Amino acid sequence: MLSHERTCPRPEPADRPRGPRPGRIRRALGRIAAVAVLAAGAALLPPAPPAEAAVTLQRVTSFGANPGALNMYVYRPAGLPASPPVVLALHGCTQSAQIYADNSGLAKFADRHGFLLVFPETTTANNGNKCFNFFQPSDNRRGQGEAASIRQMVSHASSAYGADPQRAFVTGLSAGGAMTSVMLATYPEVFRAGAVVAGIPYACAGDVGAAFTCMNPGVDRTPAAWAQSVRDAHPGHTGPSPRVAVWHGDDDPTVVPRNATELRDQWTAVHGLGQSPDRTSTLTPGNTRREQYLAADGSVAVEVNRVPSIGHGTPVAPGSGPQQCGATGTANFIASICSSYWITGFFGLDGSSAPDPGGLPAPAGLRASGVTDSAVTLGWDAVDGAASYAVYRDGVRVATPAAPPFTDTGRTAGTAYTYTVAARDSAGAEGARSAGVTATTTGGTAATCWTASNYAHVQAGRATTTGGYTYAKGSNQNLGLYNTFVTHTLKESPAGYYVLADGGCP
């Protein structure tokens, strides 16, 4: 949801070589993006008071690395079970965590089914109209900016609240829906599934101008091209891809319905599926048209829900019935069907959707029993009935040993790796994964540092330039404008991987 402004400041050309002011340019881009990212719908509906029964949120002031400068709020239902799933819910432009919690209806189902809710929140310091910056390379890439902050919230939910990191999900509206696409593409090993509400495909927009075009009239690419954008977001990922649900109003004038089709093309191609639905149905109330695309095991890999006669917003159905939820007291929550009810089901949190893992329990006692410069040896307690085990390194399956111990070789010195293990039956079906253990290999070489202008870093091969901005090779951290006036220190460790080290470097 974006809100129209009478006038919009024009940012200076990104490569203009005088007096660069990255903070001012970022704020100007945010104000322009506010017009380009889901706020036209906000202008269509008058503001109104919030829902009467406000959801009680807890502010988390410290949740680890926060390069995107986001806020974190948590809704913890009473009687939350041990190791609950966690759902991240991303608000739209001009909204807040509290507004999304009060009106989306998700808290009702968190109470009913026992899952933790996390509400990331952006600020006007990040974006003039509080839109997640899904279109900025500094925020929509793995390991940096807002995307990295949201990923860190999952880790904090696990360490602070006992949430199950293997059952993490993400959903969001508008700019939050577009940021949901970002999280599914950049962290496919973290999120089991996601639901994009009135959003756009991943990598449709890389700057403000492209954001306008993606929203309306939309961008048409082949399924293969869309899928390649997702694969490029995390080239090393070889594990399963997240399941994806799409929700979109047929009369959305802000983010046109064409985006629902392009999202379908992107994620069906990621899953290796065709674009003709395997199953169609109609949901009530409102006659929402559902298309489902099935994986080889019969589970729903992708689904598209097209809601008739609504514009830009989250479909809700106020009331106390089992399939009712939400409130319409705030713009961009539209009376129709309770999308949160169906999204909860798609995530498998009501027990009706998504195949359960195999019957074997998670192995206990996972430990790093030996670590060298280039190898990590793992041990764990054997599981009765297990024919073999699946070992995962940083979310990617790397081996299927018959029994413990297992030694993971060929690792990089001085590097941290996180492992989990699942038991496999004689048919190869995996049970639940174990709790993770992190081991850091010994050794490693001292870091090398360079202090130079962005221009010099690019010329030396330590950074690249795109759209007038400079990005560190390896980490892809945004260094600011590509010119001779902006100076940074870069640290190289390991070889060919550079990170900002302005605060000091050994």
Q: What is the per-residue pLDDT across 8-21, written as a single tens digit (0 to 9) for each?
A: 333 333 332 233 33
Q: Are residues 202 and 303 in the same domain?
A: yes
SS3 per residue for 224-237: HHHHHHHHHHCCCC
Total domains, the chain? 3
370 CB contacts (<8 Å, ≥6 apart)? Answer: 376, 377, 407
**355 within some domain:** no
Q: Are residues 211 and 333 in the same domain?
A: yes
419 is in which domain, residue-wise?
A: 367-440
Alpha carbons 233 and 230: distance in angstroms, whole number: 5
| Residue 229 tokens, joined | 């954008």
Instruction: Specify burial of residue 7 (Cβ count, 10 A radius: 0-12, 13-18, 19+).
Output: exposed
Q: Are residues 387 and 312 in the same domain?
A: no
Quick count: other Cβ atoms within 10 Å of Cβ 253? 14
Q: Are residues 135 and 212 in the same domain?
A: yes
Q: What pLDDT, on a 0 to 100 scale, did the predictor assign at position 22?
A: 39
Is residue 41 a contact partner of residue 4, using CB atoms and an 8 Å limit?
no
Q: Is the pLDDT of residue 48 over 60?
A: no
Q: Are residues 461 and 413 in the same domain?
A: no
Q: Are residues 277 and 401 in the same domain?
A: no
Instruction: Specify burial of residue 88 (Cβ count, 10 A radius: 0-12, 13-18, 19+).
Output: buried
**376 within some domain:** yes
Instruction: Look over the chain and give the mean of its residue pLDDT values, rounded to a whole number.
Output: 85
Q: Is the pLDDT of residue 58 over 70?
A: yes
β-strand 168-173 against 448-453: which pairing, if any? unpaired
Average pLDDT, integer, range 395-414: 88
Q: What pLDDT, on a 0 to 100 scale, did the predictor assign at position 282?
A: 94
Residue that terminates a domain, selected from 391, 411, 440: 440
Q: What pLDDT, on a 0 to 100 scale, did the predictor assign at position 41?
A: 39
Q: What pLDDT, on a 0 to 100 scale, did the predictor assign at position 323?
A: 94
Q: Are residues 66 and 127 in the same domain?
A: yes
**87 within some domain:** yes
**14 within some domain:** no
Q: Which of 470, 415, 418, 478 is nearest to 139 (CA)?
A: 478
Alpha helices for 271-392 (secondary structure H): 339-346
Q: Are residues 465 and 436 in the same domain?
A: no
Q: Is the pLDDT of residue 497 over 80?
A: no
| Residue 420 tokens, joined | 């989990």
Residues forming the active site: 174
**362 within some domain:** no
| Residue 293 tokens, joined | 């695309």
Q: Are residues 143 and 183 in the same domain?
A: yes
Residue that terminates a domain, selected from 391, 407, 440: 440
Q: Are residues 273 and 153 in the same domain?
A: yes
CATH number of the domain that 380 lies in?
A: 2.60.40.10
Q: How confident is the model at residue 463 (pLDDT cuts 50, 70, 90)?
A: confident
**13 within some domain:** no
Is residue 146 a contact partner of residue 68, using CB atoms and an 8 Å limit?
yes
Average pLDDT, integer, range 407-427: 86
In one-letter notation, the amino acid at residue 391 is V
In one-letter notation, the amino acid at residue 38 is L
**260 within some domain:** yes
Q: What pLDDT, on a 0 to 100 scale, did the predictor assign at position 7?
A: 29
Alpha carbons 452 and 484: distance in angstroms, whole number: 9
Residue that terminates a domain, selected from 346, 379, 408: 346
Q: Are residues 108 and 70 in the same domain?
A: yes
Q: For the chain, first and last CA: distance in Å?
A: 45
Q: What pLDDT, on a 0 to 100 scale, did the predictor assign at position 150?
A: 98
Q: What pLDDT, on a 0 to 100 scale, did the predictor assign at position 38?
A: 44
pTM of the model: 0.66
Q: Are residues 485 and 379 in the same domain?
A: no
CATH number of the domain that 160 lies in?
A: 3.40.50.1820
Strand intervals (E) in 400-476: 406-408, 416-424, 430-433, 437-440, 448-453, 463-466, 469-472
**8 within some domain:** no
